[in-house]
Amino acid sequence: MWDNEMITMLVDGTWDTLYMTLMSTLFGYILGLPMGILLAVTDKEGIRPNVFVYKILDFIANLVRSIPFLILLILVIPVTKAIVGQSYGPSATVVPLVIAAAPFIARMVESSLKEVDQGVIEAAMSMGAGTASIIWKVLLAEARTSLLVGVTIAIGTILGYSAMAGVVGGGGLGDIAIRYGYYRYQTDVMIVTIVILVALVQLLQGLGMMLSKKLDKRRA
């Protein structure tokens, strides 16, 4: 059974998984990063406290994160159809993945930015820095190591979620594992997909940690 067809399928599956994961992480950050910055900045301890904005974003983040991903996947099918044109396949899976990942990413960004030393922010303010300068040059720059660790965690989590999308025909390795391993009792195929998934996570995790360490200048 380990014919060319099977190998091509696994290679394509791996590719689809990577595609879904990276696209979802990218779009997740396009939404989640500004949201996380807003959360950190408008918090009552932030540089521009705004209870109203904070409460709204806080509520959205908690709301989305409290819906189990499998249910969200089905719940947003109309949205997916409107954006991608179909509700199955890797591109369609990106939509619910982004919706699930963005608030999660926002929370990680928020906590990374809140780790930045208040004293450094105060020093920047004393130099006459405005809100935008402080966000770009102080918060994001000083928190870069922590933010990169966040990206690594996000990629790992999204990769896991993407496999779940296999249940509704999402494509990728998760899809293969469910179709062959679960519906057709081909345990060996399932094991191979798991091995590839594990290897992918290890690889991405390792890369992310290496990069964040290299960029960290806080230790002598």
Partner 1 sequence: MEPIIKVEHLRKVFQTTAGEVAAADDISFSIEKGDIYGIIGLSGAGKSTLVRCLNLLERPSSGRVFVGNQNLPDLPEKELRRVRRKIGMIFQHFNLLMQRTVLDNVCFPMEISGVKKKEARKKAMEFLKTVGLEEKAKSYPAQLSGGQKQRVAIARVLASDPEILLCDEATSALDPQTTKSILALLKEINQKYGITIVVITHEMSVIQEICRHVAVLDQGKLAESGTVEELFHSPKTEAARKLILNAGSQIQQMRGKRLIRITFSGQSSFQPVIGNAVLLYKTPLNIMYADTKDINGKAEGEMILQLPEDKITADKMIAYFRQEKLGVEELENVG
Q: Distance between CA atoms of 41 and 135, rounded to whole angstroms? A: 8
Decide if residue 48 touches partner 1 (CB under 8 A): no
Q: Distance between CA atoms of 125 and 121, rounded to whole angstroms? A: 6
Choose which of 44, 45, 127, 185 interacts with partner 1 (CB under 8 A).
127
Residue window 192-211: x/- pattern of binding to partner 1, with contact defined by CB under 8 A: --------------------
Candidate segments 23-31, 57-65, 69-77, 131-139, binder of partner 1 by CB under 8 A: 131-139
CA gyration radius, the chain: 20
Q: Distance between CA atoms of 173 and 14, rounded to whole angstroms? A: 6
Q: Which is nearer to partner 1, 20 or 124 (CB)?
A: 124
CB of 49 to partner 1, least distance (A): 13
Decide if residue 120 touches partner 1 (CB under 8 A): yes
CB of 76 to partner 1, least distance (A): 38
Whose tokens are 């994961």? That residue is: 21
CB of 215 to partner 1, least distance (A): 8
Q: Distance between CA atoms of 19 and 172, rounded to whole angstroms? A: 9
The CA-atom distances, in angstroms, between 7 and each of 65, 91, 159 are 36, 22, 21
Decide if residue 51 touches partner 1 (CB under 8 A): no
Decide if residue 128 touches partner 1 (CB under 8 A): yes
Whose tokens are 């999660």? That residue is: 104
> H or E segment at 53?
helix 51-65
Choose which of 18, 129, 194, 211 interacts with partner 1 (CB under 8 A).
129
Whose tokens are 């044109």? That residue is: 85
Choose which of 142, 156, 166, 197 interacts with partner 1 (CB under 8 A).
142
Decide if residue 78 touches partner 1 (CB under 8 A): no
Question: Which residues, 6+ apart, have CB-to-CB distance to 160 below 8 Å?
Answer: 201
Decide if residue 215 touches partner 1 (CB under 8 A): yes
Count other Cβ atoms within 10 Å, centred on residue 72. 16
State the residues that interact with partner 1 by CB under 8 A: 117, 119-120, 122-130, 133, 137-138, 141-142, 144-145, 215-220
